Structure 1
């Protein structure tokens, strides 16, 4: 039980830390009064993912999932609203946000009204959340292929790679302890992609370590 509590604390600290990296973009938007060169889609997909896992945590009565994803969804909502405020393409941003809200509404209606409550509801929701999380972890693979082609790690953030590795590992171990494959399995690709990033840093990093070629995370 003590090990499970330790893993729970690790999941909370590492995951909230990873979500907080978006504060870099928030600071940039507030400083420049612009959302140029800021990616909006990751805010939407992460928020959607957080709300899905929050619902799963509520059904499972898992305090760790509830706390982490409540904080995550709140931060992503802040990033979304800030982007919509500072972007020049507000109509497009609001339409994308509306599409996310509609998706949430349809999902909530399906799992709350159509699907029978109990194990079936929990299993189907866990499966959907798992598939969505895996797709998020695998989505940067195209960028990694480009890095291999150019032999440059400028577009990568080493602190974010470390945060992703620690977060994925802690959630994988947490899922193993709970014997919950819906938590354990989708976080395994996060470990793999983080190890790939570490290998790329090791392979293509500069000989002079005082001048890193990667993109740092600054808040």
Structure 2
């Protein structure tokens, strides 16, 4: 078995595992009718990224990109509509969803009609990669500074962070092996953000712990 095939299988396993972490959150939300701590924007942005990378995968004929982003798009769509069905004020999430649909339609319109066919896949990959890079950089530039300010690790999960590192590392390795920066570029800040959060867990303790750094 070649290295690329091994890394491809690892990438599929870790990615599907990460996708399914939203199932308990979604199930708890539906069961309790409480959507206060559900990361709806990440489900929406994740869905946009999945759809765009699915099309990109079809254009570059990458079966792993196609299969994993199809699974991700289906699951994130379920999470989105489950959230909308539960949340009391539906106008804001519906507006965000409409904005996401407009973004996707606008992106494909401009890329289709303003880009030569030869560069369509490249520009789609670049646009999607930049979107995912911004989304996966939020722990570095928003969440970690907030946790440092509060000296708290509430909302963190060591298992989730380890899973994030495993998943992002496998995608980084896969992207390097197929020489596609659009695949590995967004995963670098994801790894750095997860490592940074683990560092905060070491310093401030697990969520709910009263042990604080002096």
Q: How far has the Cα of 1:96 moved from its partner?
A: 1.6
Q: How far has the Cα of 1:40 moved from its partner?
A: 1.7
The 3 A distance-change label for structure 1 pair 116 and 76 is same
The 3 A distance-change label for structure 1 pair 113 and 81 is same
Q: How far has the Cα of 1:7 moved from its partner?
A: 1.0
Q: Distance in 2 between matches of 1:95 and 1:198?
A: 35
1:127 match: 126
Q: Distance in 2 between matches of 1:198 and 1:91?
A: 36
Residues 43-102 of structure 1, C-alpha deviations (whole Å, 9 max, x = no match)? 111101111111111111100000110000100000011111111112222222111111
Q: How far has the Cα of 1:18 moved from its partner?
A: 1.2
1:209 match: none
- Secondary structure of residue in 2 paired with 1:140: helix
1:24 match: 24
2:212 match: none
Residues 93-148 of structure 1, C-alpha deviations (whole Å, 9 max, x = no match)? 22221111111111121222321112x11221121111111111111232211222
- For residues 1-219 of structure 1, what are the structure 2 equivalents within 5 Å? 2-118=2-118, 120-141=119-140, 142-205=142-205, 213=208
Q: Which runs of 4+ in 1 moved over 6 A?
A: none
Q: How far has the Cα of 1:150 moved from its partner?
A: 2.6
Q: Distance in 1 between matches of 2:168 and 2:39?
A: 22
Residues 188-210 of structure 1, C-alpha deviations (whole Å, 9 max, x = no match)? 1111112112211222225xxxx
The 3 A distance-change label for structure 1 pair 54 and 199 is same
TM-score normalised over the length of structure 2: 0.91
TM-score normalised over the length of structure 1: 0.89
- Gapped regions of structure 1 (runs ≥ 5): 207-211, 215-219
- Gapped regions of structure 2 (runs ≥ 5): 210-214
- Secondary structure of residue in 2 paired with 1:24: helix
Q: Distance in 2 between matches of 1:61 and 1:165?
A: 26
Count of residue correspondences: 208
